[in-house]
A = this chain, B = another copy of it.
Amino acid sequence: MNDKSKKVPDVVIKRLPRYYRYLGELLNQDIKRISSNALSEKMNVTASQIRQDFNYFGGFGQQGYGYNVEYLYGEIGDILGLNDGDTMVIIGAGNLGKALASHGTFERRGFKLVGIFDNSPDVIGTVINGREVMDVKGLEDFITRNRVDIGVITVPRAAVEETVEKLVKSGVKGLLNFSYAELKLGHDVAVENVHLSDPLMTLSYKIKQSKE
């Protein structure tokens, strides 16, 4: 548990990936330094907020100079744990599972996909992005043996409960849940629920507003 006097608010943590992504871009463009002000213009937050956010972790800049892009990028990555080499498996090799497995974005962020599982004989043995889909029967054993950190759940709704149980039992540390269900687990296992239709619904609201 973090012993620093003040717990970092969730809203701040949620902003870190955005900072991280943008700093990655700056890095690619070979930009060496940036001020909170310049950052804020591109990111739809105030400069004050950026400084405040970084200050939760002690501050990474220098007065009169700003922030060193590479250093800041590294620090935020560390805070987020992106440099820990977390491993993950995908359970459910349907369309979404396949898409996530093929999507470069996870690996680009420092995560290592080490296995894809499914329960359908039609799918087991097929190759996705150079990786053979395994039988879900071997899931628990695989996780335990390889100490897999994260389980990505893209199974149909009916299979969620069983899948979660297996994952938790075999000692996974976090779940990224794309299934319809809203998961909530105990302290020992972290969970992020992703509902792809939610942003579409809020988009719909915004569209409706602009019409009125």
Contact = CB atoms under 8 A, between A and B. Distances in A.
Interface of A: 1-2, 13-14, 16-18, 20-22, 43-44, 79-82, 84, 86, 94-96, 98-100, 102-103, 105-106, 108-109, 111, 149-150, 173-176, 180, 182, 184, 187-188, 190-192, 194-212
Given A99-B95, A180-B105, A195-B21, A80 B210 contact: no
Contacts of A175: 203
B190 A207 contact: yes
A8 to B, nearest CB: 9
10 contacts: A2-B212, A14-B198, A18-B198, A79-B205, A80-B201, A94-B99, A100-B196, A108-B197, A109-B197, A109-B200
Q: How many copies does the complex hold?
A: 2
A22 B80 CA distance: 30
A193 to B, nearest CB: 8
Nearest to A3: B212
A111 B197 CA distance: 10
A147 to B, nearest CB: 13
A103 B108 contact: no
Contacts of A86: 204, 207
A205 B44 contact: no
Nearest to A190: B206
A205 B79 CA distance: 7
A81 B205 contact: yes
Contact of A190 (B16, B84, B197, B203): B203
Nearest to A196: B105
A17 B192 contact: no
Contact of A111 (B184, B190, B200): B200
Given A17-B195, A21-B180, A80-B205, 6 more contacts: A1-B209, A99-B99, A105-B180, A173-B211, A176-B200, A190-B206
A207 B141 CA distance: 21
Nearest to A95: B99
